[in-house]
Amino acid sequence: MAAEKIFLIGMMGSGKSYWTQKIAKWIKSGGYDLDDLIEMNEEKTITELFDEDGEDYFRKVETKLLKWFKEKKKYVLATGGGTPCFNENMEWMKKEGVVIWLDESVEVLVSRLSAEKSHRPLISKFNDEELGAFLQNKLVERFNYYQQAHYRVTSDQINETYLKKLIQKHGA
């Protein structure tokens, strides 16, 4: 399984978008953010999609855009936090390429996200303590999906050296 197609999964704030750009440079490929593509395609923000069209509609659009990547040969894709949990997306990603779960601690997620709350409507109303509880609950909800990834990279491993080694192992 060559790492020609890399999917980064994990909670919001885990660094998926950041590492997508880094990895794309290393393997000389395109780096994409699924949420950004959805917003561009739908001409609405993720929040507007949820509010105006509902989660079911959002998940259909998300899956359709995810599967569009079947035609591409080499890329790194940052998925939305919930992407692996719907419409058999996890099974599809595992067949298509390498799935890496960036598993940051809830403490790190809270420290990163507390500054971004205004840009993230899902969490904007929480104080830091509530945010921690919310993220912990989401992680519990999503754990069975996330744990199916080919690789689980924990807080102490999410660094350039480790990720490069992991990707080189797959010949990218």
172 domain-assigned: no
38 domain-assigned: yes
41 domain-assigned: yes
Max Cα–Cα distance, the chain, nearest Å: 44
Q: Please tell me the predicted confidence (pLDDT) of residue 32.
A: 97
Burial class (CB in 10 A: 0-12, 13-18, 19+), 66: buried
Residue 79 has pLDDT above 70, yes or no: yes
CATH label of the domain that carries residue 147: 3.40.50.300
107 domain-assigned: yes
pLDDT digits (tens, 9 = 90+) for 9-27: 999 999 999 999 999 999 9
pLDDT digits (tens, 9 = 90+) for 111-166: 999 888 877 777 888 998 999 999 999 999 999 999 999 999 998 999 999 999 99
102 domain-assigned: yes
A 10 A CB-CB count for 125 gives 10
144 domain-assigned: yes
Q: Domain total for the chain?
A: 1
Contact status, residue 38 vs residue 67, Cβ threshold 8 Å: no
Residue 106 has pLDDT above 90, yes or no: yes
Question: What mean pLDDT is reported for the chain?
Answer: 92
85 domain-assigned: yes
171 domain-assigned: no
What is the average per-residue pLDDT within 94-118?
93
Residue 40 has pLDDT above 60, yes or no: yes
In which domain, by residue range, is 127 found?
5-165
Q: Please tell me the predicted confidence (pLDDT) of residue 1.
A: 42
Of 122, 113, 149, 9, the C-alpha closest to 58 is 122
